[in-house]
Chain A
Amino acid sequence: MTITQTSFAFVSDLVRRETAMLYDPGKEYLVEARLLPLAREAGCPDVDSYVAKLVTNPAERDKVLDALTINETSWFRDNAPYQAFTDMMLPPLLAARSHVRHLSIWSAACSSGQEAYSLAMLLDQHLPSGWTAQILASDVSSTMLDRVRAGRYSQVEMNRGMPATSLVKYFSRTGSEWEVCDDLKKMVRTQSLNLSTPFPLLPTFDIVFLRNVLIYFDLDTKRDILRRVHRVVASDGFLLLGTSETTLDLDEHWGREAHGRVQVHRPTTTAAEQWQPTAMTGA
């Protein structure tokens, strides 16, 4: 059973229109795999008959958008970026922000929140006492943001990359799920945000995690997103992209530093920008 070209075109148009994410021909298998459970749930025999339903059913359309914009995600995904976070990014920021003793971090396209809470756990372990941190978790999907706020994860989700010591330290059982503790929840703020459109008013971030999401956008949209992200990253801040996204052709506004096999991007100060006050918080 394979999805027809008509159904695939309908779904990829829908996703492109609502989120600017691209599902190019060749991704049929992915669309089918993500939609099959929804089709079964809706009582449809196959994905094509489910897609036919979408025309008249906005609630199902929302489910499709959620299913197709999910970053498949695990705790401390890929591990190395989180090592870069604690070993490379935190030390200079702790020195540079000692007057405000606050860090501001953005987990963009946060999906169900594993990245935001993974960062919150590391901050809990590495921030000196008296420091605070705020993590903005943003996503285009309101369902995902609800999940982040609830902070509840299934057994299967908890098994994915969560160190057992952190599981017992930061989570408690709630029915068949595990719920993140209030201290971490307080560190994470959620906001609905579509990366492909102009950003709402955002604070200046010391660190931005924008991982495994640019791959879904066309080149112009990618460049536009990176340009807008540049404006909200502190001049001594950091941007981290997904592993396969670091070879992107970034413009001259970004410099690149390697930490092991992780590439980290930092704003470069261009001649034009030297005239503007730097965006250091509390300066």
Chain B
Amino acid sequence: MEPSLTDVRMVVEEVWTSFLGAEDPLLPMAPGTLDVGWSAAVTVSGEWQGAVSVELPRSMAEEIARRMLGLDDEVDSVGDDDVADAVGELVNMIGGNVKSLMPGPSALSLPVVAAGRVARASDVIEACRLDASWAGAPLLVSVHVRHPEKG
């Protein structure tokens, strides 16, 4: 079982428009190279087994933290702990809603956040990936499922 790209896109767009402003929409984009500054992942375990991750360039992750924390561009500096917190909450919201697309009940893990790429378990395969751009920069949301033979 894997979620459809349409549903995943809808979930991600709702998170974006709700918290990051409707005036900068998320646009679809061809897969390309992404200089990952921050990434975060949650795992889902239960009836459905999988992981949802978000990979972002550094400047975008900082802008997301600014907007979610309501920081002023001019005055406030954004620290790594702010960015980790905001990116973690972002993947928590996307992951929780992706979990609800799949048969339940399942449990959602707390987010794991990394400066750079988060390590991924070796027994998972990519089920769905959403390449998008926001405010001119690329980002990637991907859903992995546990490999049936290895699970």
Are these two chains actual partners, yes or no? yes
Interface size class of B (residues with CB under 8 A): 10 to 19
Interface residues on chain A, size class: 10 to 19
Q: Is the CB of A176 within 8 A of B25?
A: no
Q: Are A173 and B22 neighbours in the complex by a CB distance under 8 Å?
A: no
Q: Are B25 and A37 in contact (CB under 8 A)?
A: yes
B126 at the interface (CB under 8 A from A): no
Interface membership of A58, Cβ < 8 A: no
Q: Is the CB of A175 within 8 A of B101?
A: yes
Report if A4 contacts B (CB, 8 A).
Answer: no
Chain B neighbourhood of A176, CB < 8 A: 6-8, 10-11, 14, 97, 101
Residue of A nearest to B10 (CB): A176
Taking the complex as formed, is B122 at the interface, i.e. its CB lies under 8 A from any CB of chain A?
Answer: no
Within 8 A of B (CB), among A134-158: 154-156
* Contact across chains for B100 and A173 when beta carbons are under 8 A apart: yes
B33 close to A (CB within 8 Å): no
B52 to chain A, nearest CB (A): 13
Does A54 sit within 8 A of B, measured CB to CB?
A: no
Known contacts A154-B10, A154-B14, A176-B101; is A37 also within 8 Å of B22 by CB? yes
Q: In the assembly, what is the distance between CA of A80 and CA of B136, in Å? A: 45
Smallest CB separation, B89 vs chain A (Å): 16
CA distance A52 to B4 in the complex (A): 35
Q: Are A155 and B97 in contact (CB under 8 A)?
A: yes
Bound form: Cα–Cα A39–B38 in Å: 31
The reply to whether A156 and B25 form a contact with Cβ atoms under 8 Å apart is no
Contact string, B2-20, partner A, CB cutoff 8 A, digits 1/0?
0010111011001001100
- Is B23 part of the binding interface, using a Cβ–Cβ cutoff of 8 Å? yes
User: Total number of A-B contacts with CB less than 8 angstroms?
Assistant: 29
Neighbouring A residues of B97 by C-beta, 8 Å: 155, 176
Q: Which residue of B lies closest to A36 (CB)?
A: B23
Confirm or deny: A231 has a beta carbon within 8 angstroms of a beta carbon on chain B.
Answer: no
Q: Which residue of A lies closest to B100 (CB)?
A: A173
Which residue of chain A lies nearest to B24 when distances are taken between CB atoms in the complex?
A40
A1, chain B: closest CB distance, angstroms: 10
Interface centre among A36, A155, A173, by most B CB within 10 Å?
A: A155
The answer on a CB contact under 8 Å between A156 and B22 is no
Contact assessment for A40 and B4 in the assembled complex, using a CB-CB cutoff below 8 Å: no
A173 to chain B, nearest CB (A): 6
Is B10 a contact of A40 with CB atoms below 8 Å? no
How near does chain B come to A256, taking the closest CB pair, in angstroms?
39
Return chain B residues, CB-CB under 8 Å to A175.
4, 6-7, 10, 101
Shortest CB-to-CB span from B10 to chain A, Å, is 4
What residues of B have a CB within 8 angstroms of the CB of A173 in the complex?
100-101
B17 contacts which chain A residues (CB < 8 A)? Answer: 156
Expressed in whole angstroms, the Cα–Cα distance for A175 and B17 within the complex equals 19
For B101, the chain A residues whose CB sits under 8 A away are 173, 175-176
Q: Hey, which chain A residues are within 8 Å of B14, CB to CB?
A: 154-156, 176
Task: Tell me the A196-254 residues at the B interface (CB within 8 Å).
Answer: none
Cβ-closest chain B residue relative to A159: B18
Q: Which of A3-53 contact B (CB under 8 A)?
A: 36-37, 40
Assembled-state Cα–Cα distance A280/B14 (Å) = 47
Q: Tell me the complex Cα distance, A37–B23, Å.
A: 8
B residues lining the A interface (CB < 8 Å): 4, 6-8, 10-11, 14, 17-18, 22-23, 25, 27, 97, 100-101
Q: What are 5 A-B interface contacts by the 8 Å CB criterion?
A: A37-B25, A40-B27, A175-B6, A176-B6, A176-B7
Q: Which residues of A contact B (CB under 8 A)?
A: 36-37, 40, 154-156, 173, 175-177
Q: What are the 4 tightest A-B residue pairs by CB atom distance, in nearest-first order?
A: A176-B7, A176-B10, A175-B7, A176-B11
Known: A156-B14, A176-B6. 11 other contacts (CB 8 A): A37-B22, A37-B25, A40-B25, A40-B27, A155-B14, A173-B100, A175-B10, A175-B101, A176-B7, A176-B8, A176-B10
